[in-house]
Amino acid sequence: MIFPPQAAEGIKNVYGIPMKKPRALIFRCGSCGHEEPKWLGRCPECGEWNTLTETAVSPGSHAGRALSGGTAPRSLPLSAVDPQEEKRVGSGIEELDRVLGGGIMKRSAVLLGGEPGIGKSTLLIQTAAAAGTRGRILYISGEESAGQVRMRADRLGLTANLDRIEMCCTGRLEDILVILEAVKPVLIMADSAQTLHTDEAGPAPGTINQMKFCAYELISWVKDHDAALFLSAHVTKDGLISGPKTLEHMVDTVLYFEQGGNPGGGGYDGDCRFLRAVKNRFGSVDEIGIFTMGEGGLQVVADPSLLFLVRREGAVPPGIATASVMEGSRSLLVELQALTVPAKGSVSRVFSGSIETNRVSRVAASLEKHLGLRLSDQDLYVNVAGGIRINEVGVELALAAALYSARTGIALPAATAIAGELSLAGEVLPVRKKAAREKTAGGLGFSLFTAGDLKGAALALFGSVKLG
Ligand SMILES: [Zn+2]
């Protein structure tokens, strides 16, 4: 028996989990617009007294949908639907707001995945302390004691919101639901999904059923109470734990925290961390949050290009190229480093962590075919300064230049940022957002280089086309 028998007779949602009885009324705060399923004397969001009033719910609204379970199903013309106004609160962390699509959406659930130790708890407590909400914040810690969380907050120098962050150290859903009703938080940090358990979904904590059941209850709670939920989840290097993958379907937004390398320059403390959205119902999935993680916790990087460019005293050695890439709406300059050595085995191999090995192989094949530069007998190594993963096609011409430079021993001209996508025919296709790229390059003292084809690019950048 997985679910309680009395609930099993009711309506089930798509996960097979029984849904609660639909509520009949909502109460909206006249001062800030916060909504509650029950009347309260004091608004949990803005703290005003006697501002909650009973409100008629239109069938198109969120609350109206919740009512439809009890009445006959109906539709209505799209023109008659009230547009659901976006209610967001700032997380207080610019890079997190960017990845979320402009702040924390009310009634949303965010899953924050990442390897153990990458900084998920640090991001959650920093966000709790910086969030621009006036209501209370509940921090549910299933792994660390309240004292440990307090020590971390002190170590990070967090002082804001400490009176409004309520700590509870349990993973038991029944206890959490009691605390939620007592605290009425507007923001919930649950650290982590793996520690959530309930008496109602089988005996062993940490099973997928336990996690699903608890996550569903927490998500329902925030949707009913105009709050927002952050739920952290441990993921192994190869994403092997199936639990968080299941949770991805239940939440509105899925963020993954990734480990980068050491910053290339800029004098930053600590190593790079990247926050990426892999699912976002309320924003794009292209945006990337860039942080460094050091003594002071996660730091937002003011000028990220400095992380991915290596400052040098003398000339740039062969094998180094500067790429102009777009990560979401942001234009970055990134140093690529290539090394070619005669293949040890009979098959040439590609070693590349930050750019897909398939892309490296294809660019190498283009160089061999169209410029006659022999790379098929070489092992190819490609690095990106700062360890940032690059998925943009516009990196290909710079990658070709780095490989060409590494193989021929001719260095690239200084202060040249390269952008272009390669076709299999050896053409260089124009990149999007050229003006933004030029602006970024210019600001850092670089000129933007792009060309019509591979041969023209080699002539312009290296002065000659070296054959064979
Ligand atoms: Zn209010």
Confidence of residue 70 (pLDDT cuts 50, 70, 90): very low
* Distance between Cα 64 and ligand 1 center (Å): 21
Q: Are 156 and 122 in contact (CB under 8 A)?
A: yes
| CA–CA dist 441, 354 (Å, integer) | 21
Give the C-alpha separation, 173 to 179, whole Å: 10
Question: Mean pLDDT for the chain?
Answer: 86
Residue 27 pLDDT:
87
Distance 51 CA to ligand 1 centre (A): 7
Predicted pLDDT of residue 8: 40
* Beta pairing partners, 53: 28
What pLDDT is stored for residue 262 in this prediction?
Answer: 82
Residue 83 reports pLDDT greater than 90: no
Per residue in 279-312, pLDDT (tens digit) is: 999 988 888 999 998 888 898 887 787 889 888 8
Q: Which residue has the tokens 């990220």?
A: 304
Surface-to-core class of residue 227, CB atoms within 10 Å of its CB (0-12 exposed, 13-18 middle, 19+ buried): buried
Lowest mean pLDDT among 12-21, 30-39, 129-138: 12-21
For residues 321 and 397, the answer to whether their CB atoms sit within 8 Å is no
SS (H, E, C) 355-367: CCHHHHHHHHHHH
Centre of ligand 1 to C-alpha 164, Å, is 16
CA of 45 to the centre of ligand 1 (A): 5
Residue 7's pLDDT is 42
Separation of CA 56 and ligand 1 centre (Å): 18
Ligand 1 center to 218 CA (angstroms): 22
Range of lowest pLDDT (119-128, 189-198, 457-466): 457-466
pTM over 0.75: yes
Please report, rounded to a whole number, the percentage of residues in the chain having pLDDT higher than 90: 56
The average pLDDT across 251-275 equals: 85
pLDDT of residue 11: 60
3-state secondary structure 13-32: CCCCCECCCCCCCEEEECCC
Task: State the DSSP code for 409.
Answer: -
- Angle, CA of 322, 404 and 399, to the nearest 5°: 40
CATH number of 88-302: 3.40.50.300
For the chain, give every residue range classified as CATH 3.40.50.300: 88-302
pLDDT tens, 310-357? 888 788 899 999 999 998 888 999 999 999 999 988 888 999 989 999
Structure confidence at residue 242 (pLDDT): 62
Quickly state the pLDDT bin for 74 (edges 50, 70, 90).
confident
Q: Cα separation of 96 and 273, whole Å?
A: 12
Compute the distance from residue 52 Cα to the ligand 1 centre, in Å: 8
Does residue 210 or residue 190 have the better pLDDT? 190
Write out the two tokens for 444.
């850092």
Average pLDDT, integer, range 22-45 = 82
What is the C-alpha R_g of the chain? 26
Domain with CATH 3.30.230.10 in the chain: 307-455
Q: Which amino acid is at 369?
A: K
* pLDDT for the residue numbered 466: 62
Q: Which of 150-154, 199-203, 425-429 shows the lowest per-residue confidence on average (mean pLDDT)? A: 199-203
Distance 131 CA to ligand 1 centre (A): 16
CA nearest to 227, candidates 21, 45, 32: 45
235 C-alpha to ligand 1 centroid (Å): 37
Q: What is the mean pLDDT of residues 417-424?
A: 96
What are 1-21's pLDDT values in tens digits?
Answer: 344 444 444 566 666 666 655
Helix (H) or strand (E) holding 99: helix 94-100
User: At the topology level of CATH, where does 307-455 sit?
Assistant: Ribosomal Protein S5; domain 2 (3.30.230)
Q: How far is the CA of 43 from the centre of ligand 1 (A)?
A: 5
Q: Which of 401, 265, 268 is nearest to 323 (CA)?
A: 401
| Centre of ligand 1 from the C-alpha of residue 31, in Å | 5
Q: Write down the pLDDT at residue 5.
A: 40
Nearest-5° Cα angle at 439, 433 to 444: 130
The DSSP-derived string for 120-186 is HHHHHHHHHHH---SS-EEEEESSS-HHHHHHHHHHTT--TTTTTEEEE---BHHHHHHHHHHH--S
Tell me which DSSP letter residue 88 carries: E
Residue ranges near ligand 1 (ion) with Cβ within 5 Å: 29, 31-32, 34, 43, 45-46
Gap from CA of 130 to ligand 1 centroid (Å): 19
Cα 340–Cα 341–Cα 347 angle in degrees, nearest 5: 100
pLDDT of residue 24: 55
Q: Binning pLDDT at 50, 70 and 90, where does residue 250 land?
A: very high
Task: Examine the pLDDT at 187 and tell me if it is beyond 60.
Answer: yes
Mean pLDDT calculated for residue range 174-179:
96
Q: What separation in Å is there between the alpha carbon of 47 and the centre of ligand 1?
A: 6
Following DSSP, what letter does each residue of 312-354 receive, concatenated? -SSPPPTTEEEEEEEETTEEEEEEEEEEEEE-SSSS--EEESS
Q: How far is the CA of 34 from the centre of ligand 1 (A)?
A: 5
Give the mean pLDDT of 224-241. 84
Higher pLDDT, 58 or 179: 179
Copy the structure tokens of residue 271.
Answer: 């190593």
d(CA 139, ligand 1 centre) in Å: 21
Q: Look at residue 468 in the predicted model and tell me its pLDDT.
A: 46
Section 164-168 average pLDDT: 95
Answer yes or no: is pLDDT of 84 > 70.
no
Instruction: Tell how far the Cα of 37 is from the centroid of ligand 1, in angstroms.
Output: 14
DSSP letter for 89, please: E
Whole-number Å distance, alpha carbon 137 to ligand 1 midpoint, is 15
The pairing of strands 26-29 and 137-141 is unpaired
366-375 confidence digits (pLDDT tens): 999 999 999 9
Rounded distance between C-alpha atoms, residue 433 and residue 151, angstroms: 45
**How many A from CA of 38 to the centre of ligand 1?**
14
Mean pLDDT to the nearest integer, 61-69: 48
Distance from C-alpha of 216 to C-alpha of 218, rounded to nearest angstrom: 6
pLDDT of residue 170: 93
Q: What are phi and psi of 211, to 5 degrees?
A: -65, -45
Q: Report the separation in Å between the CA atom of 108 and the middle of ligand 1, taken as the mean of its atom positions.
A: 18
pLDDT, residue 14, reads 62
In the reported structure, the alpha carbon of residue 82 is separated from the centroid of ligand 1 by a whole-number distance in angstroms of 21
Rounded to the nearest 10 degrees, what angle do helices 120-130 and 146-155 cross at? 70
**Ligand 1 midpoint to CA 42 (Å):** 8
